[in-house]
Structure formats: structure tokens, C-alpha cells
Amino acid sequence: MQTNPLIQRLTFLSEIDRLKSVIRQSPILDQSRKENSAEHSWHVAMFALLLQDYASSSVNIERVIKMLLIHDVVEVDVGDTPIHGGSSPDEQHYLETQAANRLFGLLPKEQAAELLALWHEFEEAQSEDALFAKALDRIQPLLANVSTGGGTWTESNVTLEQVLQRYGPTIERGCPALWSICKQLSEEHFAISKHPTTTTTSTSMK
Amino acid sequence: MQTNPLIQRLTFLSEIDRLKSVIRQSPILDQSRKENSAEHSWHVAMFALLLQDYASSSVNIERVIKMLLIHDVVEVDVGDTPIHGGSSPDEQHYLETQAANRLFGLLPKEQAAELLALWHEFEEAQSEDALFAKALDRIQPLLANVSTGGGTWTESNVTLEQVLQRYGPTIERGCPALWSICKQLSEEHFAISKHPTTTTTSTSMK
Ligand SMILES: [Ca+2]
């Protein structure tokens, strides 16, 4: 086992390169392909940076950004678990915890402990920082889906009710200021997809 | 022009999605394809988070992370400029400044000014934060190249001297603690590629 702290860190940084090959359900906005978890992690960190004014006043945005940068690294070992998939949450939690221990365990002890704690905080979704991070992690794919004519939702025959149920509580709890627009955009999407010729009062982002 | 600050921010966040389609010179580590600028931005932000102990004591790592998250967004308009390319620096600077004004200009005035200033600080490479960020932005592709049997360097017939000249000053100035290992790994790479049968005293990261 490597004990030079610099080499340990560089090894970790090499290992997580594989996140660039973990493919998520959501498309990129030009619909040329699906998004990978590395670029998703960058995008949600940008969401945090840009949308900090809509967080509760006790949120530390720098911690949220760090949390979002690392929130998906376990996927290097276990892959992405789709929100509309059917895997058992307990099984998934067990595998992701194993992966977190292995990956952060590559690092010097103190740094490993710090990042593992930050990852657990995100997973547990109790602190204000984690709740805001979790909300952003739902808002980004929701907007990708409404911006691409349904994206994942269309493919998986997801209904408006399922969207409101699967995204709603997390977004409403962690970032209430954004839930109304997310809800409205989702409703508009399903109204259009049911009646493709109807013109709606669109909340277009352009 | 949009004046709702939330819609302005969501528009910006949609616009920068195109960074996922800007292809850089460096390969991802499994060599299946080249890296895009969005996942590169995530990876260098992770380099900052992990390697903060090697920065000068006056570096504010949270500012460095923000700087690295936004450092390449101008490529949405102008594409990636390869380090081994031949474009005129003045022309490139002019185009990137235009792009920064357009993109950050999509945001509410105060936020636009803040992020534009952070982007200029990175570009000017004078502050301690910017110098560290610039060094990481060189270290990440250097390591990708040495980890993939040469990557860009092999393709572009880049020599050891060119590597030391093009990466060296930026890394040595912004993160002197990492220059010796980067130099050593580069020298080992070129020693092996000249004499493929020679075994070197490898500083392997595994
Ligand atoms: Ca660049």
C-alpha cells in the first residue's frame, strides 16, 4: 500500500477519472448523447455557484460545492442508479458505502475521513448544506428533461405524477424557491406532450 | 432580454451545457476517447480539493475551486485552444474576452461582474489563487499524457524539451511542490518511449 501522501492523492485523482465513463439516464441538452457522471458533477457544482441566492441563509455554499464535486465518485465502482430504476435502496446504500470506503481509503487518513464524512452527510440528507445539494442534484436532470422534450421521462414512460413524486419532495425541501418553476415546467412539458398542438403559456428559459 | 434573475441564471446554466461537447486534446485515462471541457473542469476542481496542501499558504482553496469551475466556460463560444496549437495569443484573448462578456452577461448584473472578475483573475495569472489554479490546469493534462503512453504528446510529436517548456513554468510557479514529480514522470515517459525495452525506476502511481 502506498504511503507517500502525494502519490496517494494522485492515485485517487487517477482512479476517479473513470467517472467520465459512467453514463447517466439524462441527455445532454443538444440530445447528441447521454450525460456522464463527471460532467454532471461539474454542472451541479455550477448550479450551486449560480443559485446560491435561493438557498436557505444557513447554507455554506463552498461546502455544498465540495459535496457536489464528490457526491457521485462512488459510481466509479457501482455505476449510476437511475431515479426511475427499480433497485433496492438498502442494497444500493451498502454497495455505495463499500465503494466510498475503498475510494476515499486511497487517501491519507485525515483527508479520507474528511471527505468520507462529507459524502455521508450528502447521503444522509439532514444538514441544510446536504438538503440544498440534494435539491440541485434533482433540479439539474429535471431541467435537462424538460429542455429536451422529455428525455428520460419519455423513454421510461414516466408520468407527471411520478415526476412530482420523485423530484418534488427533495427539491421542495432543499430549495423551495425553485420548486414552483420546476413544477410549472414539468406540468407544461406533460401538457404539451399530451396535446402536441396546444400552445401553452410557456416559461421558456430563452 | 430576460430580466427575471432566476430565469437569467437558468439560461446561463443551460447555455454552458455545451461545454460537454467541447473536445480537448487530452485522452481520458482508459483511452477510449478524448476528454471534454466540462469533465475536465470537474477533474481540475477535484485536483484543487485534493491537492490544497501543496498550495502556498495564502491560497483560498474555495476561490480556486470556483475559478476552475468557470475557467473554461468561454469555450462554449470559442472552443478549446490546445497548448500545442499555433493560434495567436492576442486573437485568442480577444475572442475569449468577447465570449466571457456574452456568457456572464446573461446573468444578473452583480453576479455577472463577480464571475467575470474571477474569470479575468484566472486569465491574468497574477494572484496566488490564479497561479495555483493555472498550475492545476497544466498538471491534470500532463498526468493524463504520462498515464496514457504519451496521449497528445505522441500524436503531436511533442518532445520532452517542449513539455518542460510549455508546462514547466506554470506548474513550477503556481505549485512548486508538484513540479518535481511532474518533471520526473515526463522524463520517464520520454525515456521509455525512446527506449521501449528499458526498465526505469518508475514513479508509478499504483
Ligand atoms: Ca482550456
Kindly report the backbone phi and psi dihedral angles of residue A23, in degrees, each rounded to the nearest multiple of 5, phi listed first: -95, 130
A5-194 fold: Hypothetical protein af1432 (1.10.3210)
The ipTM is 0.93
Q: Which pLDDT value is given to residue B172? A: 96
Q: Which pLDDT value is given to residue A2? A: 79
B197 vs A20, higher pLDDT? A20
Q: Which pLDDT value is given to residue A85? A: 64
Q: Could you tell me where the DSSP H helices lie in chain A?
A: 5-15, 37-51, 61-70, 75-78, 89-104, 109-124, 128-147, 151-155, 160-174, 176-194
Residue A191, pLDDT > 60, answer yes
Q: Which pLDDT value is given to residue B95? A: 93
One-letter identity of residue A76: V
Kindly report the backbone phi and psi dihedral angles of residue B23, in degrees, each rounded to the nearest multiple of 5, phi listed first: -95, 130
Q: Which pLDDT value is given to residue A196? A: 61
Kindly report the backbone phi and psi dihedral angles of residue A26, in degrees, each rounded to the nearest multiple of 5, phi listed first: -75, 145
Distances (CA, A) of B145 to A82, A150, B25, B35, B131: 33, 38, 10, 12, 22
Chain-chain contact of B39 with A43 (C-beta, under 8 angstroms):
no
Q: Which pLDDT value is given to residue A205? A: 52
- Domain-wise residue ranges, chain A: 5-194
* B9: chain A residues, CB-CB within 8 Å: 50-51
Distances (CA, A) of A179 to A139, A175, B50, B186: 9, 7, 33, 50
C-alpha span between B64 and B134 (Å, rounded): 9
Per-residue pLDDT tens, chain B, 206 aa: give them. Answer: 778 999 999 999 999 999 999 999 999 999 999 999 999 999 999 999 999 999 988 999 999 999 999 999 999 999 887 776 667 888 889 999 999 999 999 999 999 999 999 999 999 999 999 999 999 999 999 999 999 988 889 888 999 999 999 999 999 999 999 999 999 999 999 998 776 654 444 444 54
**How many residues would you count in chain A?**
206
Tell me whether A23 touches chain B (CB under 8 Å): no
C-alpha cell at A126: 439532514
C-alpha span between A89 and A91 (Å, rounded): 6
Tell me whether A97 touches chain B (CB under 8 Å): no
A42 vs B87, higher pLDDT? A42
Neighbouring residues of the ion ligand 1, judged by CB less than 5 Å: B 72
Distances (CA, A) of A193 to A6, A52, A135, A205: 53, 32, 25, 18
- Residue A200 DSSP label: -
Tell me whether A191 touches chain B (CB under 8 Å): no
Q: Which pLDDT value is given to residue A206? A: 44
C-alpha cell at B106: 446573461
Tell me whether B45 touches chain A (CB under 8 Å): yes
A with B: how many residue pairs have Cβ under 8 Å apart? 132
| Chain position carrying cell 484566472 | B122
Binding-face residues of A in 100-139 toward B, CB within 8 A: 107, 111
| Chain position carrying cell 474571477 | B118
What is the SS3 assignment for A33?
coil
C-alpha span between A193 and A149 (Å, rounded): 8
Nearest C-alpha of chain A: how many angstroms from B190? 20
C-alpha span between B116 and B188 (Å, rounded): 40
Q: Which residue of B has its CA nearest to A68?
A: B42
C-alpha cell at B142: 500532463
Chain-chain contact of A35 with B20 (C-beta, under 8 angstroms):
yes
Nearest to A38 by CA among B19, B86, B119, B11: B19
Q: Measured in angstroms, how far is the CA atom of residue B80 from the centroid of ligand 1?
A: 5
pLDDT, tens digit (0-9, with 9 covering 90-100), for A102-156: 999 999 999 999 999 999 999 999 999 999 999 999 999 999 999 998 888 988 8
C-alpha cell at B4: 427575471
Q: Which pLDDT value is given to residue B85? A: 64
pLDDT, tens digit (0-9, with 9 covering 90-100), for A53-105: 999 889 999 999 999 999 999 999 999 877 766 678 888 899 999 999 999 99
DSSP string, B169-191: HHHHHH-HHHHHHHHHHHHHHHH
